[in-house]
Amino acid sequence: MHQSLNTARDSYVSNFLGEAIEENPKRFWSYVKQLRQEDPGVADLEIEGKIFSDGETKAEILNKQFSSVFTNESDSVPQSVGNEPKSRISPLIITITGVTKQLTSLKTNKACSQDNIPSWFLKEYAQEI
């Protein structure tokens, strides 16, 4: 049974790659790249002679390090320096034509933004939106 499972997998991969080469070369090269890459993750960390290899411990160590070197900026709006006048931003004008143009120019192979709406959906239904 083990041999037939390997044969089935090989057949599937062969068919997948054959279709990918003809229909979507990007998908083919993505698969090849995936096979060639190793994901070593975060290397073991050595601190004061101790080696840490546990993922959660390494994350805590890195978080502590990054937190120590970054500062929290004030949420207040900075005041103008000296007697320099504050610049004004002109009013933002949003039009149906402009929104439609932006939606139809979306790249559909990009990941969703924070709203989890796929770009292909926004592009496809730009006129309705």
Would you list the domain boundaries of the chain?
Answer: 1-37, 42-70, 93-129
pTM above 0.85, yes or no: no
Q: What is the pLDDT of residues 47-106, one digit of tens each?
A: 889 999 888 898 999 998 888 888 776 666 666 556 666 678 888 889 999 999 999 998
For residue 57 the two structure tokens come to 């411990």
Residue range 115-122: average pLDDT? 87
Dist CA 25 CA 22 (whole Å): 7
Q: What is the pLDDT of residues 3-50, one digit of tens each?
A: 677 788 778 777 777 777 777 778 777 777 777 766 667 888 888 899
Strand pairing partners for 51?
46
